[in-house]
Amino acid sequence: MRETGGTHTEWTFLTSHARVLLAISRDPGARLRDIAATCGITERTVLAIVTDLEEAGYLTRSRADDGRRNHYGIVEGSRFRHPAEAGHQIAGLIALLADPRGPTEAGGG
């Protein structure tokens, strides 16, 4: 990664796929443009990521009751893809990071 004017580099711990998944866990009826704004990426990138996650079996997509929006569901029991984390379910990551206040402020200890 490149340095940005000091000793800090521009990298983060979470991928865009993880951010999109977390945004959907917070609001399963969110519009792609809202997810894009939350994650700091384009709508086109969000659409590609949602398609990736759906094809890999992490998400389901259906029409919301109003017939105008999509509603997303996270598939229970989904596990990380990388061999280093393969034994862990993504539910743990979502539980840890889905509430933007964090576990202490949200009352989770």
pTM of the model: 0.79
- Report the pLDDT averaged over residues 42-51: 98
The CATH class, in words, for 16-98 is mainly alpha
Which amino acid, one-letter code, is at 53? L
SS3 12: coil
Tokens of 45: 């990138």
Average pLDDT, the chain: 86
| Percentage of residues of the chain with pLDDT beyond 70 | 83
pLDDT at position 106 over 70 = no
Position 77 scores a pLDDT of: 93
Q: Are 72 and 60 in contact (CB under 8 A)?
A: yes
Position 109 scores a pLDDT of: 45
Position 86 scores a pLDDT of: 86
- Report the pLDDT averaged over residues 69-95: 92
Q: For the beta carbon of residue 24, count every other beta carbon within 10 angstroms.
A: 26
